[in-house]
Structure 1
Amino acid sequence: MRLASLGGSVEEKAFNAAVGQLIREIRTRSGLTQELLGRRAGLSRGSITNIEGGTQAPPLYRLVRIAAVLNVQPADLLPSLLPEEATGLPARHAADVASVWSGAEKLEDAHGQS
Structure 2
Amino acid sequence: MEEQEFNAAVSRLIRQARARAGVTQEYLGRQAGLSRGSITNIEAGTQTPPLYRLARIAAALNMPTAELLPPLVPDETADLSARHAAGVSAVWAQAAELRGGHGEG
Kindly indicate whether residue 5 of structure 2 is the aligned counterpart of residue 17 of structure 1.
no
Q: Which has the higher helix share?
A: 2
Within the candidate set 40, 47, 51, 2:42 is matched to: 51
Shift of 1:44: 0.4
* Equivalenced residues, count: 105
1:64–1:74: 8 Å Cα contact kept in structure 2? yes
In 2: Cα distance, 1:44 partner to 1:69 partner: 13
1:27-73 alpha-carbon deviations (Å, 9 max, x no partner): 01110100000000110001101111111111111111111121221
- Is 1:86 equivalent to 2:83 in the alignment? no
Code of the residue aligned with 2:23 in structure 1: it is L
**1:30-69 matches, cutoff 5 A:** 30-69=21-60
| Deviation by residue 1:76-112 (Cα, 9 ceiling, x = unmatched) | 1111112222221122211111111011111122223
Unaligned runs of 5+ in 1: 1-5
- Does the CA contact (< 8 Å) of 1:16 and 1:51 recur in 2? no
Matched, 1:28 2:19: yes
Aligned Cα RMSD in Å?
1.4
Unaligned runs of 5+ in 2: none
- 2:99 partner letter: E
TM-score normalised over the length of structure 1: 0.83
Q: Percent identity?
A: 62
SS at match of 2:71: coil
